[in-house]
Amino acid sequence: MKTRNSRSPTQISAARQVALGALAYLAGDPERIGPFLAESGLSPADLRGAVGSAAFHVALLDHLINHQELLIAYAGEAEIDPGHVVAAREILFHAEIGED
């Protein structure tokens, strides 16, 4: 039985694409990726192993959401509404904890 918070595989895939786009945006500039790596405790070498993890995607989107200037800049570059980043974070968080 699906719960009220159920998400389709398409929604989860779209949310992952938002997270991967955010990663590409951050990784494009050492001044953007550095603070994320410092906050997360990851090294640049750790990124390859973490990139497939829903928890990593949630942490990445949390970082953007908590740094509004990055959120606005990424959303502008990606030509998406900043609210889509927040929605993607919620979708991935609920998928991670098994509410999908």
Q: How many CA atoms lie within 13 A of 50 on its CB side?
A: 17
pLDDT digits (tens, 9 = 90+) for 8-50: 889 999 999 999 999 999 999 999 999 999 999 999 888 888 9
Contact 100, 62 (CB under 8 A): no
Say what the pTM is. 0.85
pLDDT score for 2: 43
Q: How many residues does the chain have?
A: 100
Q: How far apart are CA 69 and CA 54, in angstroms?
A: 24
